[in-house]
Structures are given as structure tokens and as C-alpha cells.
Structure 1
């Protein structure tokens, strides 16, 4: 399973989360079973944790996951998005912007997928595709002639022509490589849960912009929604530590009357929010993928979609180089990946942060509402927003 420099891997991937596993399978789909790819992560030796999170996956992400054979049958289509902006105590929350149009081909612009279920399917598919799954961390790496040497626990070694870091927001590989990174913590924590509710959601995602932060109910199957609730840190910590009854009571205050009574349909979780943007997504025989290169506020649901677009770009560029007989870890190949991803990632990251600051700033509510109302009355602009959200 572990190959030394004389039997060099084509690609070593650090991190067995959805991003790393998707990359391994996308490369296999592009280049076939002869590709030597391994995923390294000590978590592979442990049972999957319970995870309350679900992801909104855009249309281009769905196409990628279908191509590698992991699209879940129970993915829930998102038929539309309704945005409100109000005070917490408001009895009525008028809709200022509604995106209800499907794409031109009639398909929804996004689907909701449970993160834990997707990772289970990815692991099953990776084993079937003969991806090496190594339950060890990459403790060191160094670029040498024609490959990168990987240091493993207890003196073990491996080598690869290309190292892809999909090891998360706190990426040890990015830190060892000393990639300059712009990063800061938001004064918010995301509370997540799966909630059952009395009234139907009709496939519509709802996002309330409240003084404490955005409160999103994202439609799953039946009368169930995924809650992504950003709240100021002190209040979020109080609610996170409360019992289930208090948590649901606070959630009902923010959800408003449209859902009826809420109940828990899965585990709860809490995650501090931060912004991370690496100044470069590449190094010598190294590519940063997903959260290792960028982390954005969840208010626009773009985090995992950006990661899937990283995967699509890197797998396509590496495959083209391999078919042309080029060195897949060369600077020229990695510069192509940097060029393909830098503009979109930087644009989405800065736009998402600007939206957060606009909605967090006191005294801007009237301006926000006028702006959303103007967009709501511009069908052509709304169609462009839906097209952008779909990634196609």
C-alpha cells in the first residue's frame, strides 16, 4: 500500500473528508485504474462521527458527483430561495427577495445532501475503485527531484509526483509549506441541526437575516430541514450549551410561524466561523484544495461548492497533462490550476464577507431592503443569479 520513491504514487491526497475522497475518485474517473492515488488520514482508522451538517450542492457539483458514481438517491431538490430581513421580535417577516425559477433546462439549481451520508458513499466507492486508503497522517513533506517525499509515523515513507492538501481549514501541510494566508475569526458561531417541522417546506430554502446573524432553513426530504444558524458568539455558546427544549424554543423564535412546531431529527452541532484565503493555492508539487485554500462564511452556502470546483479543475488539468505525457506535478501544470481557481475563489470569498458585513452593520437595513427589492423586480438579473448559483 505504501510505496517508496522507486514506486512513486501519482497523487497523494492528505485528508479523507468529502473533498479529498471526491478528488481521488475524480482522478480515477479521468485516468482509469492505472492511476496510483492514495488518501492519507488517521481518521480512516476510526468510525465516522455523527454529523449534523448537510450541504447545498449546486448543479455543477451534482454533475461531478454523478460522474464518479456517488450521487445519493435521497438528495433533496431546492426549488427556490426566500430571503427576509427583519428584527427578531417582528411578528411578520416580509419577503424582500425570492428566487423561485429553475434553470433553463428545468432542473433545480441545487440539492441538499447530508455530509455524513455523502462521505459514507465516497468511502465505499473509493474502496471499489482501489484507491489506497491509509489511516496515517502525512507528518512531513519535502520536494525532491521528480517527486515529493512524504514522512509518515514511525519512520515510514511514501513518495508522489503530486501532493494535494485537502486537510481542512487548519491544514498542517499549508502551515508547513508556509503559504501566506489571510485569515480571521468572525464573532459568530454556526449552530447546525436537522429539524422536523409540522408545516411543509415545499422545497424552498428560507434565510432570515436577523440582528444576530443569518438563520437558514434548508429543505430536506419530507417535513425536515437542515438548520444553519449563525449567531453572535456569546449567545451561540449559551444556546449550544442549553438543553434540547431551550434550543428548539430559540429556533422557533427565529424560524417564525411558517414551520409550526419544531423537533430534533438528528444531532446538534456548533462550529466557530472564520475566513481563510491562501495567497496561493500551489507550491512545489503541491496543490491546496477546498478548505485548505479557502474558508468562507456559510451565509451563501458556497463553501463545499467551491471545493467541488477545485476538484473539477485540478482533476481536469492533471488528466490533460498525464494524457500529454507531461509531469503532473510540474510548475506549469500547477500554475494552470492556480489560474483556473484564483479569480472565482477570491471573488466569492470577498463578496461573501462583504455581504456578512453589510448585514451585520447597524443602520444599513433600509438600504439592504431597497437593494433586495430592486433585485426581486428584475427577472433577468434573478435568472443570472440562479445561473451563477448553479455553477453552470
Structure 2
């Protein structure tokens, strides 16, 4: 093997998705040498039709992206969420969150932002190009990971070798890193499929995100730029395919019925896709020379829009423990460093997954007494300002033991 086929670095990130590239950018921004192995070509991700999904970025996640130098490349493409309205079906009793009721950094801030996945990828690629300490290898496939007490070796399909102190698994639900570590999973499926698409409408959304809890699953309308909105419609899996295949006019009529018609005339801007919903929780987030982030470690129901936000909290916490160790000249893949990350992140993740699962079961039914209790509960929250402010701060991701990046403190 030629010397050119051996790459030596401090950290290797497996996976070039939204979480993986953010992880690599955060480390490189702080001066940690990092290699990111990405199975897909950037040109593939730049195609407008490759990924029609959208992403919800909570305020805390914006701070993480800002700290990684990514946010300035995507801010203009992100539609702010200024209000959130949550209702049980179409009850007149609902919770209304107004961003003017919460002050952060000395002023009122949006709860978050909605943008196209492709725009976030473009921003990440732009940031990668600015970071000489980050080597993005794409397309490339990791096929084997060997570990010992001193480090890890990742073998690529083309024969190249990457040596590092630590392997970060950001390689999704079928993670090679997790499989190599022998970390077991707890999983369960919902009888729901998320129907997604993007629409344009004649009436302004005014930055309002709307979520109706319907018997077959939540129906969300999320505000984007240019008078567009993202639809995330959770439906019984047995019915989802039928709705996806409806003639366009009939599908739009169904959107009008479920949204209440407040958006005026609607047109579809993307195809419709269905994503079966399930939960995945790794029993451990770390093993010898391996740490998991994002969907390698967890996947939850989109009922609260926390999927990528949970992953970016992983990124912020893991980046902090790695950078602290690196600057002290310590081994970034040592058991002590990884244990700190595990303590920080796993409890928060399991708790949020349990809360989301509870909400799914609480709201995805039409049982009379439960329905009445839900409506009363929403009304009570709406009329208790301290409780409502707590929930608003939680939605923004600024509750709990916050990493430096979330607090706006550079790594």
C-alpha cells in the first residue's frame, strides 16, 4: 500500500448527511483535524429533485450552526417561525405560542426556522470548502473499522485507509460504526407514514406554524420563505399510499380541508413522498474509539419537529468534549472523554423519545373522555404564562445543561 493511500487525522466522521457534515465543520472550526467520509457525491445532493424534505431548525440549533460557521450560508433560505398554534383536531381550544413572549440574547427571537434540506446541504458544502482542516472524501464507502486501545483504522471500499483517535458514527439507521461496536438497538414502529411535500399559497402564513392533532396522526403546516409552506402529514400507513396517489386537485382539496383553508389557493411545488415512522434508540452512544450522533444513535417521531435538533445537540455536546480534550493534549477517543458525552446526551434523548411517543399515543385517537381531557389541557397551558414560557423555551432548545455552542460561546 502506498503512503498516499493512508490518511492520518484526529477524528474521522462516517456519514456526510446534515448531522455528519455539521459535526465535521464544528470540529474543524475549532482547529481539530477531521476527515468526513461521505458515501454520496456532492453533485447528487445539489440536484433540486434529490431530496424534497425540509428541516426544522430550533433556535438552539441555529446557535450550533452559527458556531460551526454554517448559518451565514443558509440564513437567507430559512423561513422564521414566529408563532406556533397547536390544536386538538379543529377544536376552538388551542395553545398559541408567540415569539414576543420569550426574550433571548436581549430580544425576541424566532422559535426556529424551516428550510429545504438541499439548501442546508449547499450551506454545509460552502462551509466545508472554507475549512482547510476538514477533508471531505466523497463519494466513498467505509467497509471496515478496526479498533484498539491506541486508535481506530477505517478501511474504505477503494482500499484507502484512514487512521484516527476517534470514529464518529453519523452514518444513519444502518450504521457501520454502531454495528462494529456491537451496540444493540431498541426499536418500534408506528402505524403511521409521514406524507411530505412543499406548497405555495396565495395568502401569507405570517410565520405561523400550525399543528393539528388528528385521530390518524398530526398534520403540520410549517412556514418557509417565498410564501411557501412545508406539509408534514402523519397518516395511517394503510391509507397513506392512497392519499399520495390522489390526483393533484383532489390532494390539494384534502390539504385545504385539513388546514382549514387559511392559506388561500394552494399549488404543489414538489412531488409527494411517504416516510414510514418508527423509533430507534441505541442502548449506548459510545464504545471503544466510537461515538454515535444523529440517526446512528436515535430516530424519533416528528410530532414535535425535534429530529435534526436532537442530532445537533449531540453535535454540540460531542464537539465540546472533543475540543476540550484536544486542547489539553489528551486522547480525544479515550474512555473518559466518551463517558462524558454519553452522560450528557443519552438521558436527554431517551426522555424526549418517551415524551414524543406519549404524545403520539395521547393524541392519535378519538376516544371521547381522552379528547376532552386533551382540549382542557391545551387550554390550561395557554392560560398559564409561566408554564407556557417553559414549553416555548423547550421548543427553542434552550432548557437544560446547554453546551457552549448553544449558549453562543465559541468552542
> Which bin holds the TM-score, normalised by the shorter protein?
over 0.9
The aligned residue for residue 37 of structure 1 is 34
Residues 148 and 3 of structure 1, relative CA distance in 2, 3 Å threshold: farther
Residues 120 and 81 of structure 1, relative CA distance in 2, 3 Å threshold: same
The aligned residue for residue 366 of structure 1 is 372
C-alpha separation between the residues in 2 aligned to 1:244 and 1:208?
A: 22
C-alpha separation between the residues in 1 aligned to 2:162 and 2:176?
A: 17
C-alpha separation between the residues in 2 aligned to 1:375 and 1:42?
A: 45
The aligned residue for residue 408 of structure 2 is none
The aligned residue for residue 244 of structure 2 is 240
| Alignment pair present for 1:376 and 2:378 | no
The aligned residue for residue 341 of structure 2 is 337
C-alpha separation between the residues in 2 aligned to 1:368 and 1:3?
A: 64
Shift of 1:11: 0.7
Selected match of 2:291 from 270, 282, 287: 287
Residues 63 and 298 of structure 1, relative CA distance in 2, 3 Å threshold: same
Structure 1 segment 111-122 matched on structure 2, within 5 A = 111-122=113-124
The aligned residue for residue 143 of structure 1 is 147
| Alignment pair present for 1:56 and 2:33 | no
The aligned residue for residue 99 of structure 2 is 101
The aligned residue for residue 89 of structure 1 is none
The aligned residue for residue 84 of structure 2 is 81
Shift of 1:154: 4.0
Shift of 1:122: 0.2
C-alpha separation between the residues in 1 aligned to 2:165 and 2:4?
A: 12
| Alignment pair present for 1:315 and 2:333 | no
The aligned residue for residue 403 of structure 2 is none
Shift of 1:387: 1.1
Q: Secondary structure at the match of 2:77?
A: coil
Q: What's the TM-score, normalizing by structure 1?
A: 0.93
CA contact (8 A) 2:5 2:160 kept: no
C-alpha separation between the residues in 1 aligned to 2:227 and 2:153?
A: 51
Q: Secondary structure at the match of 2:219?
A: strand
C-alpha separation between the residues in 2 aligned to 1:6 and 1:17?
A: 24
Selected match of 2:300 from 291, 296, 299: 296
The aligned residue for residue 406 of structure 2 is none
- The runs of 4+ residues in structure 1 deviating greater than 6 Å are 2-6
Q: Which runs of 5+ in 2 are unaligned?
A: 399-411
C-alpha separation between the residues in 2 aligned to 1:226 and 1:170?
A: 27
C-alpha separation between the residues in 2 aligned to 1:66 and 1:201?
A: 26
Q: What's the TM-score, normalizing by structure 2?
A: 0.89
Q: Which runs of 5+ in 1 are unaligned?
A: 87-91
C-alpha separation between the residues in 1 aligned to 2:271 and 2:28?
A: 34
Shift of 1:155: 3.5
Shift of 1:80: 1.1
Moved more, 216-225 or 305-314: 216-225
Cα distance per residue 1:147-171 (max 9 Å; x no partner): 1111211433221110001111232
Residues 7 and 196 of structure 1, relative CA distance in 2, 3 Å threshold: closer
The aligned residue for residue 387 of structure 1 is 393
